[in-house]
């Protein structure tokens, strides 16, 4: 007789296999076979062969006088309907984000608005909202990509290994977290640290724009390609963008804000030879601070004993 007892050793081995494959977060209580096609999709991929004398449904659905619609590759009316519904829901999400962000009058209001916002699906899998760290009074803003595992646990950006690297980079030009405001493009961790989708970035962008509008930073440091490309509206990779000052143009401000793209601290941890380039960027940032009269607060001299 087959035993109904769960096989703990097999379950543990399966779990270990998942961990070795890179899974680091459980996002559901039950396993889910994502390779299985939902019934409808499977039926579309493998439509029953038309019987002799019958037209295929795509040809039969072609409206009179519109042969293009009869082409097997053109979307059928229901997929066009779905695309239109997706567009409508994306624009509703945008409108919702915009309305909530614009009603916020402070960073803490933005936090409350994000708690209320349901337009970013990452919220469902994240543990905590990560809005900012540092000083909302600071005139320099650092913008990263998205929270990682430790940020998700602690509810603050840049507190994991990349954050420690960022601290060392700031210290190299005489700064610490009390002199900068640190945030991200996204406020919830993408599962397994996958890249954010354009829809997730678009849903979160109004909240970043509102932070910039409320805090009026004088300089921006954009760490990594995702934030540099999004905020500067560029398509080049970070290795091309880094080290070149550009103007960030806020949708509701006349004055552009000088922005410097640089390498992401997490990238520097993987590619230490690139620290030389990051160091050049930091020196350039320090020069801009001096030009703007934003001198770092010098650390108090150590007391002699
Ligand atoms: N990487 C980021 O871009 N942001 C964080 O908060 C942590 C890691």
Does the residue 200 lie in any domain? yes
Provide the pLDDT for residue 49. 46
- Nearest-atom number in ligand 1 for the CA of 223 is 3
- pLDDT tens figures, 155-211: 999 999 999 999 999 999 999 999 999 999 999 999 999 999 999 999 999 999 999
Atom of ligand 1 at shortest distance to CA of 265? 1
146 lines ligand 1 (CB under 6 A): yes
* pLDDT score recorded for residue 10: 81
pLDDT at site 64: 35
User: Is residue 127 assigned to a domain?
Assistant: yes
CATH of the domain at 241: 3.40.470.10
CA-only gyration radius of the chain, Å: 25
247 φ, ψ to 5°? -100, 125
Q: What is the reported pLDDT for 161?
A: 98
CA–CA separation, 208 vs 206, rounded Å?
5
Calculate the CA 242 to chain-centre distance.
19
Query: Are the C-beta atoms of 259 and 220 separated by less than 8 Å?
Result: yes
Residue 74 lies in a domain: no
- Which stretches does DSSP call E strand in the chain? 133-134, 140-144, 181-184, 219-223, 246-248, 257-262
Q: What is the pLDDT of residue 79?
A: 77
Does the Cβ of 151 fall within 6 Å of ligand 1?
yes
Site to substitute for ligand 1 among 122, 144, 159, 265, most atoms within 8 A of C-beta: 144
What is the structure's pLDDT at 35? 58
Question: pTM (2 decimals)?
Answer: 0.75
> 158 alpha carbon to ligand 1 midpoint, in Å?
5
How many whole angstroms separate alpha carbon 185 and alpha carbon 170? 20
User: What is the spatial distance between Cα 264 and Cα 162, in angstroms, rounded to a whole number?
Assistant: 8
In whole angstroms, give the CA distance from residue 228 to residue 235: 9
Largest Cα separation within the chain, whole Å, is: 100
Question: Is the CB of residue 132 less than 8 Å from the CB of residue 157?
Answer: yes
**Is any ligand 1 atom within 6 A of the Cβ of residue 158?**
yes
- Closest to 172 (Cα-Cα) out of 286, 269, 293: 286
Q: How much is the pLDDT for 56?
A: 35
Beta bridge partners of residue 221, listed in sequence order: 142, 260
Using alpha carbons only, give the angle 75, 80, 81 rounded to the nearest 5 degrees. Answer: 150
CA proximity to 133, closest of 113, 156, 149, 107: 156
Asked, for residue 274, whether it belongs to a domain, the answer is yes
Residue 114 belongs to a domain: yes
If one residue of 122, 129, 130, 163 were mutated to test the ligand 1 pocket, choosing by the most ligand atoms within 8 A of its CB, it would be: 163
Q: Is residue 252 part of a domain?
A: yes
Half-sphere exposure of 124 (CA within 13 A, CB side): 7
Ligand 1 touching residue 145 (CB < 6 A):
yes
State the total domains in the chain: 1
23 occurs within a structural domain: no
Q: What is the pLDDT of residues 244-259, one digit of tens each?
A: 999 999 999 999 999 9
Q: Please tell me the distance between residue 161's alpha carbon and the centre of ligand 1 in angstroms.
A: 9
Task: Specify if 53 maps to a domain.
Answer: no
Indicate if ligand 1 lies below 6 Å from the C-beta of 157: yes
Q: Is the CB of 266 under 6 A from ligand 1?
A: yes
How would you write the pLDDT of the chain (305 residues) with one tens digit per residue? Answer: 455 666 788 878 877 777 766 676 666 666 666 556 555 545 544 544 444 434 333 333 333 333 333 344 455 667 778 778 877 788 899 999 999 999 999 999 999 999 999 999 999 999 999 999 999 999 999 999 999 999 999 999 999 999 999 999 999 999 999 999 999 999 999 999 999 999 999 999 999 999 999 999 999 999 999 999 999 999 999 999 999 999 999 999 999 999 999 999 999 999 999 999 999 999 999 999 999 999 775 555 655 44
Q: Separation of 184 CA from ligand 1 center, angstroms?
A: 7
> What is the phi/psi pair of residue 274, to 5°?
-85, 0
Instruction: Provide the residue range defining the domain that includes 100.
Output: 88-291
Q: Would the CB of 196 count as within 6 Å of ligand 1? A: no
Read off the DSSP letter of residue 67: G
Question: SS3 for 138-169, per residue?
Answer: CCEEEEECCCCHHHHHHCCCCCCHHHHHHHHH
């Amino acid at each position: 007789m087959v035993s109904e007892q769960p096989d703990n050793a097999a379950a543990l081995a399966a779990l270990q296999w998942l961990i070795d494959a890179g899974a680091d977060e459980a996002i559901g209580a039950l396993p889910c076979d994502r390779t299985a096609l939902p019934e409808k999709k499977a039926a579309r991929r493998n439509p029953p062969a038309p019987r002799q004398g019958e037209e295929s449904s795509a040809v039969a659905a072609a409206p009179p006088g519109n042969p293009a619609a009869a082409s097997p590759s053109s979307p059928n009316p229901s997929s066009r309907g779905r695309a239109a519904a997706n567009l409508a829901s994306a624009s509703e999400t945008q409108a919702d984000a915009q309305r909530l962000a614009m009603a916020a009058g402070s960073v803490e209001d933005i936090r409350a608005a994000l708690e209320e916002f349901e337009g970013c699906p990452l919220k469902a899998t994240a543990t905590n909202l990560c809005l900012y760290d540092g000083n909302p009074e600071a005139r320099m803003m650092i913008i990263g990509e998205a929270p990682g595992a430790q940020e998700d646990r602690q509810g603050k950006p840049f507190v994991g290994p990349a954050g420690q690297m960022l601290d060392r980079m700031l210290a190299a030009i005489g700064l610490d977290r009390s002199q900068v405001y640190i945030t991200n493009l996204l406020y919830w961790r993408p599962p397994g640290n996958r890249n954010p989708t354009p829809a997730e970035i678009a849903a979160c962008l109004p909240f970043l724009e509102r932070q910039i509008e409320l805090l009026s930073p004088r300089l921006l440091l954009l760490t990594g390609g995702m934030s540099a490309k999004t905020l500067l509206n560029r398509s080049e990779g970070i290795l091309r963008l880094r080290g070149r000052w550009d103007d960030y143009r806020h949708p509701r401000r006349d004055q552009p804000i000088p922005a410097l793209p640089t390498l992401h601290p997490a990238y520097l941890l993987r590619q230490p030879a690139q620290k030389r380039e990051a160091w050049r960027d930091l020196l350039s940032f320090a020069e801009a601070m001096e030009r703007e009269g934003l001198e770092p607060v010098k650390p108090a001299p150590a007391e002699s004993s």
